[in-house]
Structure 1
Amino acid sequence: MNIKSLLLGSAAALAVVSGAQAADAIVAAEPEPVEYVRVCDAYGTGYFYIPGTETCLKINGYIRFQVDAGPSASSISASGGGFVDNDSSWDARTRGQVQFTAKSDTEYGPLTGVIVIQANADNATNQKTQLDSAYLDIAGFRAGLFYSWWDDGLSGETDDIGSPVTLHNSIRYQYETGDFYAGISVDELEDGPFYNGEEPNNFGVAVGLGGKAGAFTYQITAGYDTDNEEGAVRAMGTVAVGPGTLGLAAVYSSGPNAYYNKSEWAVAAEYAIKATDKLKITPGVQYYGNYGVVNAATDADFSDNNAWKAGVTIDYQIVDNFSAKVSVQYLDPENADDVTSGYFRLQRAF
C-alpha cells in the first residue's frame, strides 16, 4: 500500500511539472512600449519630435473668410490667390493655409525645411490650391520657393511699395547677428511683368539689409531685373511715437521692372495707433510720382501723371487666435477715374 501511494504521488508530481513547463512555452511576448510624442522646446513653442527621430516639427496655419468691395472686387493679387473672373463690385472668398516647419541640429547650425500649402476658394466651383512656399535653410543659405524682401511693407493696407510678384524660386544668403541682417538673393523672374513684347525668362538680383535699434526699425531693399535692364530701391522705417508707431517709406524705380512698376517714385506714411489691447487703427497715405506704365508693348516707360492714395485699416482681436480686419482705401490717379475699395476679413489662426 505504501508503494502504491508512492507511485501515485510521483506521477502527480511529474504531471504538475510538465504542466508548468507547457504553460511557460506558450506565454505571449510583451507588447512594445508606446513612444509618445515629445515636446521640442529648442526652437520655440509648438514644436514636437517626430517619433523615432531627432527632427522637430511644427504645424500651424490659418483659416480666412474675406469679402472684397470695389471695382472688380474678385480680382485677387498673385499673393491672394490669382482669381480674375468677373466684374462684380463685391466678392466673398475663403482661404485655408497650412505650414509645416521641420528643424534639426547639424554641425553647421539648425537645418530648416518649410512647406506652405494654400487653398483659395472664390466660390464652390472656382478653387485653386497652390504651393505657397517650399524651401530649405541652413547656415544663412536658403534655396527654394519663398517670398523676397520686396514682399515686406508697412503694417497697414494703404502702402503700395512692393513687387507685383514677390514669390520666386530663389537662392539667398542672409547674415544675421543680434538686431541686424544683410543678404543677397538671385531670383527667377518668370512670373513677373513683361514689356516690349517679350515674356520674362531671366533672373534678378536683390539685396536687403535691416534691423532695429530700440524703438526704431529700418530696412533698405534693392533689386535689378536683367530682363528689363531696370532696377528699384526702397527704404522703410518705423519708430514708436506716443500711443502708436509711425511708419515711413520711399521707393524709386529707374523704369518698369519686376521689382517695382507702379510709378517712378513714391512716398508713403502711416500711423498705427494701439487704441486698446485688442484694437489697432492704422490710417495711411501714399503719393505716386509718374504713376502707371505707358507703351508697355513697345518702349515701356512711366507716365507723366501723378496719383495719391489714402485709407484706414482697423484690426480687432476678438479672442486669442481669432481676429477681424476692415480696410477702406481711396485712390485718385491724375487723368483717370478715382477708385474706392476695401474688404472685411475674419481669420482664425492655429
Structure 2
Amino acid sequence: MNIKSLLLGSAAALAAVSGARAADAIVAAEPEPVEYVRVCDAYGTGYFYIPGTETCLKINGYIRFQVDVAPNASSIGAGGGGSVANDSDWDARTRGQVQFTAKSDTEYGPLTGVIVMQFNADNASAQKAQLDSAYLDIAGFRAGLFYSWWDDGLSGETDDIGSPVTLHNSIRYQYEIDAFYAGISVDELEDSPFYNGETANNVGVAVGLGGKAGAFSYQITAGYDTDNEEGAVRAMGTVAVGPGTLGLAVVYASNPNAYYNKAEWAIAAEYAIKATDKLKITPAVQYYNNYGVTAGEFNDDVDAWKAGVTIDYQIVDNLSAKVSVQYLDPDNADDVTSGYFRLQRAF
C-alpha cells in the first residue's frame, strides 16, 4: 500500500465519522412567533382582539373624586350607588369604575357581553365593591343586570324625573333602525323601595321609544308596577336653540310606584349653554304637583319648586370638573340648598 492510498483511506474514514457525529448533533428549535395584540376596528375605537380568539375586548372606566355639600351631606348628584347620609354638612367620596365590553360576530349579528365593576369609598374604613352591570346582548335581546330607560334624564343635575332605583335584573328587547328605537322590558323590582319603606315590589313592565330628527331628540318611557298596580309615563325632548340646547321633560304617576314616586306629576326645563369648547353652563328648574307621599298616597295640594345650575368644564382630554348647586322649596317642609364638586378622569 502506497502513501497516496493510505491518505485517501484516512480521509474517507474521517468523513464517515464526522457525518455520523453530525447526525447526532442537537439543533435548537426555532422560537415560537409572538402573537401581539391586534387592534379590532369592527366595533369602534378602543377594541382589541383577545389573543387566540376572534373576540374583541374594550376596557374603559373612570376615577371620580367628589365632595357633597348639603344638610347631613346627603349624596346629591351621586349618579348611581349614592352614599348614606351622615352627621356632617359635607362628605368627600371617591369612586373607581371599570367596564369590560366583549364583542364577537355571529350569524345573528354582534354578540355583546358587558361587565361593570364599581368601587366606592366614603372614607378609608367605609368601602364597597359592587357589580354595577352585567348583561349579554344579541340581535336586540338583552338579559342581565342593567339600567332601565328610567335612568335617563336631561343633561344637567336639577331634573328629578327618574325611578328611585333604575338598576334591575331584566329581560329586554329593543328594535333599532337609523335614528329610532322602540323596546319593551320585564324588570325584577324587588330592590325598589315600596312607598311605605318596605321592599315588596316584584315585577314591572316598561316600554321605551325614542330617536332623533335633525336638531331634535325625543324619548317616551312608561312603566307598570304589578305589585302596587300603579304606573308612570314620562316624555323628554331636546332641541338646539342658539348657543345651546333646550331640554324639556314631563312625568306623571297614577300613584307612588317603583317607576316614579316623587309627585303625581312634574315638569322640568333646562338650557345647556355651550359657552366655549370646554365650558358648559346648564341652568334648570322643575315644578312638582302633589309633592311627596303620605300613607301610600301623593300629598294633595302640596307643591314644590326646584332650581339649580350645573357647570361642566373640560380641563384637559379625559379630565373634567363639575360643579352643581340646587335649591329645593317644598310647601310642606323647609327649603334645602345642596350641591357638589367633582373631578373625574376617564379612560
Shared fold (TM-score, shorter chain, > 0.5): yes
Please say if residues 191 and 199 of structure 2, whose CA atoms lie closer than 8 Å, have aligned partners that are also in contact. Answer: no
1:328 matched to which residue of 2?
325
Alpha-carbon distance, 1:74 to partner: 4.5
Normalised to the residue count of structure 2, the TM-score between the two structures is 0.96
Which amino acid in 1 is paired with 2:162? G
Q: Which runs of 5+ in 2 are unaligned?
A: none
1:141 matched to which residue of 2?
141
Instruction: Measure the CA separation in 1 of the matches of 2:338 and 2:213.
Output: 36
Please say if residues 81 and 128 of structure 1, whose CA atoms lie closer than 8 Å, have aligned partners that are also in contact. Answer: no
1:307 matched to which residue of 2?
304
Alpha-carbon distance, 1:157 to partner: 0.3
Which amino acid in 1 is paired with 2:222? A
Alpha-carbon distance, 1:22 to partner: 2.2
Please say if residues 195 and 228 of structure 1, whose CA atoms lie closer than 8 Å, have aligned partners that are also in contact. Answer: no
Q: Which runs of 5+ in 1 are unaligned?
A: none
2:343 matched to which residue of 1?
346
Change (3 A) 1:282 1:198: closer
1:19 matched to which residue of 2?
21
Which amino acid in 2 is paired with 1:109? G
Query: Which deviates more from structure 2 when the two are superposed, residues 319-328 or residues 195-204?
Result: 195-204
Which amino acid in 2 is paired with 1:86? N
Please say if residues 136 and 142 of structure 2, whose CA atoms lie closer than 8 Å, have aligned partners that are also in contact. Answer: yes
1:112 matched to which residue of 2?
112
Instruction: Measure the CA separation in 2 of the matches of 1:186 and 1:194.
Output: 18
Change (3 A) 1:121 1:95: same
2:12 matched to which residue of 1?
10
1:221 matched to which residue of 2?
221
Please say if residues 255 and 264 of structure 2, whose CA atoms lie closer than 8 Å, have aligned partners that are also in contact. Answer: yes
Alpha-carbon distance, 1:78 to partner: 8.3
Please say if residues 78 and 165 of structure 1, whose CA atoms lie closer than 8 Å, have aligned partners that are also in contact. Answer: no
Instruction: Give 3-state SS (helix, strand or coil) of 1:96's partner.
Output: strand
Query: Which deviates more from structure 2 when the two are superposed, residues 234-243 or residues 1-10?
Result: 1-10
Instruction: Measure the CA separation in 2 of the matches of 1:70 and 1:85.
Output: 10
1:257 matched to which residue of 2?
257
1:130 matched to which residue of 2?
130
CA offset digits 1:213-244 (Å, max 9, x no partner): 00000001000101111100000000000000
Alpha-carbon distance, 1:303 to partner: 4.3
Q: What's the RMSD between the two structures over aligned residues?
A: 1.5
How many pairs are equivalent? 345
2:273 matched to which residue of 1?
273
Normalised to the residue count of structure 1, the TM-score between the two structures is 0.95
**What percent identity do the matched residue pairs reach?**
83
CA offset digits 1:281-316 (Å, max 9, x no partner): 0000000001100014xxx44343110000000000
CA offset digits 1:78-136 (Å, max 9, x no partner): 85334315221100000000001111111111111100000000000101111000001
